[in-house]
Structure 1
C-alpha cells in the first residue's frame, strides 16, 4: 500500500496561533480569583494528595503560573512548532519513504482518513536500514512530548545503534486532529486509523511505542487480591509478603486512586460538564492540567537542562487552548468502557510487548504482574522519571525504545 491509498496526499500544515493570542491574554488578565484559597492551607493530605498537590494547586501558585503563561512568547512557540520545514522538496513520493535516503527534517502534515483530518509529524531517518516507528501519545500530553526524542531515534550517533523512521500522530480529537464523528469510536478505531496512516506512508511493517513498547501499564492485582479494597491490602499485608520497596510503589498507586483520579471519573462519566468550563477559561485549563504536571516539573527542574519544565506545561496548555481540543481529548476516557480491564482482558492480550517502568509513574507493576497483559519479552526499570517519560527523560526513553525494539524485532531479521 502506497501514498496513493489516501483519499488525497498528505498536505503540509502550518500552525497559526496569532489570531487567538490577544483573546488568551485578555482572559488571563481578567481572571476572577477567589479572595482566599478554596481550602485553607493548613489542610494535610499526607502522602495521599492528588498528584502531590493536596486539594489541588494553591492560589499563590496558580497566580504565579497564570502570570508566567501570560508571558510565554506565543510567536516563538508557534515558530518552534513550525520550525522543522523541508527545504529540499516534497516529503511524499510514489515509492515508500523508508526505502529512500532522506535528509528531510520533520514537518507538520494532515491527511484525511475515514473522514477525519489526522495531524502528524514525519521524521524519516537518513539511514537506509532504519525501521518505521510510530510514537503514540496519551493524556494530558500530545505529539509535542516526543520532540526531544526524534533525532535520538532517527539519527543515533552510534552507527551500530538501530535507527527509525518516526511518525508522530495526534490522536483523533487532540491538537490538530479532528475528533471522532460518532460516540461509538473506540481505541481500536484509532489503532485502525493509525495503521492506515502508516500503510499509506509506505510502511508495510512498523513498530509502535505506546502499544508494543509501553511506559505505562497500570495492570490491577491478580485474583483474589483484586477483590479487596487496595487501602485495606496495604494496611494489613505483612512486610514479609509485601516488602517496603514494593509497598511504596503500591502506596503511590493507591494514593492516585483515592485522591488523584477525580479527573478520570469526570472525563469518563460526565465529559461534557468539565469540557464547557475548561474550553472557556484558561485559568480552569491551567488548574486541570497543571495539577498533573507541576509535581513532576518541580522534581525534574532540580536537574540541569530539564526538558520537563514550566515551559513544557505552557506549551501543552497553549496547544489545548488554541485548538479548543480539551473537551474532545476526554473521548478516549468516555467512549471506551473496557478502559479499566483491557490490560488483562484475553481479547486484548498482547502477543509481543515490552515495558519500561519509570519509578515516579502512577502505577509501576512488578514484572510478574505485567506479564498478565501479554507476552512480555523485554522489561526494564529506569532510575528516574515519571508519567511524562519521553518529555522528562528523552535520552533514557529513546534508549529504552531502541533496546526494546531490538528484542521485539529480532525475528524480523
Structure 2
C-alpha cells in the first residue's frame, strides 16, 4: 500500500519500521493494483438498504445518493492521481513515542516564511489542506505572509500508524506535534486546526506556550464562565447555542458509537467501501454550508479522495478510537495564554459565544464571523480560509 523511500516495508503490518530514532524519512504512497481491483469488485457488488420511508435526510444519507457516490468512486475516481498529488507535495514519516506518523511538509520558497502546523479532524484527513497549500506556501503577492506547512495525519488516520496501546489522547498528540516540529527544525511555530485538530491546537498552546507563537482555530473550546447568563448574549450567539443543543440531540449519534464501541463499528467500515463512504459522506453534506446535499459545498473529487485515504488505510476503527480516548476528557478550562485567532464559519456545528471564548483564550487577537462556509472550511471555501489565516498570522 505504502512505502518509505529509504526503508523496507513490513509486509505484515503495511507500515515501515523506522526504529526508536528521531529520523525523518521520505514516504511514497504506492497503492498496489490488487487493492484497487479489490475495491472496484466490492463496489460492483455493493448491497444497499432500501430507501428510507422519509423524503429527506432525517434518517440519514439517502440510498440514491450513496448509490451515485459508489458509482462515481468506481467509474470516475483514480486513486493514483491522488497518490501522485500527495507524493509531489512531499510526504514523510517519523516515529514518536513508538508510533509512526505520516505528514506532509511543504516548504515555501520565501525566505521570510513562517512554520505552520495544521491539524485535521474526523472525518477529515490531510486531503483537507491540498487546495490551500499553494496559496499558503507561495502567495502571489509579496505583501501576503508565506508559510512552511506541516500537515500530520492523526494517530490511526491516513498513513500514520494505528496505536496498539491506549493513551494517544489529545494531550499526547499535542506533545507529539511539538516534538515533530522540533525534528523539522522549527523551535517556534504557528498552529491551526478544526474539529479534533482544534483541540490538539489548543492543547499545543496550553502545554507548549513557549513553542507556539500564535494559534488559529475554527472551533474554540471553552466552558461557560461562572456567572455568565445565556439570556444576556447577543441574539445570534443564543441561536448558536440552540443549534449546538439540536446537534447534540439529533446529530451526534456517530459520536456516541465512536466514543463507546469503535471496534464494533470498525468491522463494517473496514469491510465495506459503501459503509465507509456513507459514514463520511453524510457528514460532508450536513456539516457544510450547503446543507443536506453534497455539491457544490465540497468538490466530489475531494470527498472521494478523503474517503479513499480511510479505505486504503483501513482506518475505520482506528480513527474512531480517538473519540474513545478523548471524548468528554478534553481540557476545556486551562487558560490559553498564547496569541489566538478564531474564525466562525456559519455552518460549524459547535459555535461558541465570543465572551466565553475570550474568558479562556486570554490573548484573543482576532475574531471574525464569516457569512458562508462550514466545518470543512478549507475545502468548502479555500480562499476565505486562506484569507483568515493571513489575517490572523500576517502580523
TM-score by length of 1: 0.79
Structure 1 counterpart of 2:155: 172
Structure 2 counterpart of 1:381: 369
1:55 aligned onto 2:52? no
Whether the 8 Å CA contact 1:297–1:310 is kept in 2: the answer is: no
Structure 1 counterpart of 2:236: 245
Where 2:92 maps in the other structure, the secondary structure is: strand
Q: Distance in 2 between matches of 1:115 and 1:338?
A: 26
After superposition, the C-alpha distances for 1:205-233 in whole angstroms (9 at most, x for unaligned) are: 1111122211112545445789xxxxxx8
**Which residue, 289, 299, 309 being the options, matches 2:299?**
309
Q: Over the residues paired in the alignment, what is the CA RMSD in angstroms?
A: 2.6
Q: Distance in 2 between matches of 1:263 and 1:122?
A: 31
Structure 1 counterpart of 2:182: 199
Alignment of 1:1-400 (within 5 A): 7=21, 9-17=23-31, 18-34=33-49, 36-37=50-51, 39-41=52-54, 53-71=57-75, 72-82=77-87, 84=88, 106-210=89-193, 211=201, 212-217=215-220, 219-223=222-226, 245-295=236-286, 299=290, 308-336=298-326, 338-339=328-329, 342-343=331-332, 345-346=333-334, 349-375=336-362, 376-400=364-388
When the two structures are aligned, how many residues end up with a matched partner?
A: 353
Q: Distance in 2 between matches of 1:138 and 1:189?
A: 15
Where 2:131 maps in the other structure, the secondary structure is: coil
Deviation at 1:167, TM superposition (A): 0.9
User: CA 1:267/1:373 → structure 2, altered by over 3 Å: closer, same or farther?
Assistant: farther
Deviation at 1:380, TM superposition (A): 0.9
User: CA 1:127/1:363 → structure 2, altered by over 3 Å: closer, same or farther?
Assistant: same
Structure 2 counterpart of 1:50: none
User: CA 1:388/1:262 → structure 2, altered by over 3 Å: closer, same or farther?
Assistant: same
Whether the 8 Å CA contact 1:15–1:81 is kept in 2: the answer is: yes
Q: Distance in 2 between matches of 1:76 and 1:127?
A: 28
Deviation at 1:123, TM superposition (A): 1.0
TM-score by length of 2: 0.82
Deviation at 1:406, TM superposition (A): 3.4
After superposition, the C-alpha distances for 1:294-323 in whole angstroms (9 at most, x for unaligned) are: 24568299999x682221111111110001
The one of the two structures with greater contact order (alpha-carbon pairs below 8 A, sep at least 6) is: 1
5+ residue gaps in structure 1? 1-5, 45-52, 85-105, 227-232, 408-413
Q: Distance in 2 between matches of 1:302 and 1:55?
A: 14
Deviation at 1:242, TM superposition (A): 6.2
User: CA 1:192/1:243 → structure 2, altered by over 3 Å: closer, same or farther?
Assistant: closer
Structure 1 counterpart of 2:196: none
Q: Distance in 2 between matches of 1:350 and 1:56?
A: 41
Larger Rg: 1
Where 2:331 maps in the other structure, the secondary structure is: coil
Deviation at 1:278, TM superposition (A): 0.8
